[in-house]
Amino acid sequence: MINNGLPKAGLAEIRDSTDYELQEKGEIYFFYKPKAGVENAATKEDVQRLYIVLRPEEAEHRVEEKQSSDSGKEGKYKAKEEDIEFHKTHKIDQNAPHQLRPRGGDMEVEQEVEVRSVVTEDLQDYTVHGGLKITNEHMHRKFVPYKGVAEGGHGTERVEIGKKPLFRYMVMGRKHLPLPHHTSPFWGYVELVTTNPADIRKVLTDEDTESDTPAHGEKSNPIARPVGEGVYSLVRHHTATRTSTHLVYKLEHPGPHKKHEPQDALHIEPQASFVLQIKNPEQPGPAVSTGIGSKRRAYLPAHLQGKIGSRRFMPADPPDLLNYEGVEFILLSAHDDIDSELGNELRSHGHDPLTMEVPDLIEYLAVGPRHHKHLIRPLIEGQWA
């Protein structure tokens, strides 16, 4: 990886500024997915959605709070892994009519089920009570049929930034970013927050069967194409009248001498600055515009919700506000000269154009034994795929 995608300058340099304070910095990735039925995108019209992945590497506060790993889509993936491990350990017949989900405690199901081919000694004695509960005095686990994810992030876990990976998978409501000097806010929401890189690969590849945008009543989840990689900072910006948070980034891939066909179409500039605001999850708003349902809205801890108070929007300060699935945000072009705003703080590291080096995370997420090398053409060559 290219020096982990991190800027060279430290936190102290930007803290000395009277106008800007660094809240967080790290790696930023842009992806798009073609529409269902489109094998390879050739124009913006072929694009289903635009995605942003943030991977913080350094933060103003060394420890950030995130949702519980048992909640939201992160919890769904974790439960699936537990299912697989449990079935392997206890040799449960995978052809049974329902997948049973470990949760600790007794075994519970929500409808009548048939349990068969349980060959583990612990589970040979079981009783069905009215088709509603299965108990076993030797078992101390709870099972519920898996029904997919229908909740946002909630609960609290602490993550030491830089010591443990943290990923935010964010969905943009439009197929492109705001243009410089664009005056309208662009909506988006946090789809997944996780410390497990495998979870990010699931949502970016066809390993996840759920689709962000079902077409004609059918679910489809095309493989995402990486279209930009670089470094970012979340910056607290002070003016005489207000304080705001800016998301500032610079691309490292594709390089300056490559084509930028998909990047130009999706308005992914080589560098950009956006005002980043968080929508109060307890205030009504046009959630339908970003495709997130009311059941998936985030439930922030009391101290974070208290910072928002009764306001409809507030700066992403602290960045912990982005660590909950279902959080909605808006991006607004900041009209800033990035070099003047941050100096060398966000200087990209460049790359050797002859080596065509691909960042490790992109290699891991988008190019595996099941996928084709051409999918990274938007990132490496600046061409559609």
Residue 298 token pair: 């985030």
Q: How far is 128 from 115, CA to CA, in rounded Å?
A: 9
Residue 57 has pLDDT above 90, yes or no: yes
Number of domains into which the chain is organized: 2
| Three-state secondary structure readout of 332-367 | EECCCCHHHHHCCCCCCCCCCCCCCCCCHHHHHHHC
Residue 312 has pLDDT above 80, yes or no: yes
Residue 7 has pLDDT above 70, yes or no: no
| pLDDT tens figures, 10-40 | 444 444 444 889 999 999 999 999 999 998 9
Which range of 197-201, 215-219, 365-369 scores highest in mean pLDDT? It is 197-201
Q: What secondary structure letter does DSSP report for 218?
A: B
Query: Is 215 in the same domain as 313?
Result: yes
Domain range for residue 311? 3-69+152-380
| pLDDT tens figures, 264-281 | 999 999 999 999 999 999
What pTM did the predictor assign? 0.76
Q: Looking at the domain assignment, is residue 40 inside a domain? A: yes
Q: Looking at the domain assignment, is residue 146 inside a domain? A: no
Q: Looking at the domain assignment, is residue 373 inside a domain? A: yes
DSSP β-ladder status, 243-253 and 271-279? antiparallel
Which range of 19-23, 68-72, 203-207 scores highest in mean pLDDT? It is 68-72
Q: Which residue has the higher pLDDT, 340 or 307?
A: 307
Query: Is 223 in the same domain as 288?
Result: yes
Q: How far is 112 from 318, CA to CA, in rounded Å?
A: 47
375 pLDDT band, cuts 50/70/90, is confident
| pLDDT tens figures, 338-366 | 665 554 455 444 443 323 344 566 666 55
Q: Looking at the domain assignment, is residue 38 inside a domain? A: yes
Determine the pLDDT at residue 117. 31
| pLDDT tens figures, 130-189 | 333 333 333 333 333 334 455 789 999 999 999 999 999 999 999 999 998 778 899 999
Query: Is 263 in the same domain as 295?
Result: yes
Alpha carbon distance, N-terminus to C-terminus of the chain: 23
Query: Is 233 in the same domain as 288?
Result: yes
Q: Looking at the domain assignment, is residue 117 inside a domain? A: yes
Determine the pLDDT at residue 191. 95
Query: Is 208 in the same domain as 85?
Result: no
Sheet with 127-129: list strands edge to edge.
107-108, 133-135, 127-129
Least confident stretch, 92-106, 210-224, 285-299, 301-315: 92-106
- What is the average per-residue pLDDT within 58-68? 96
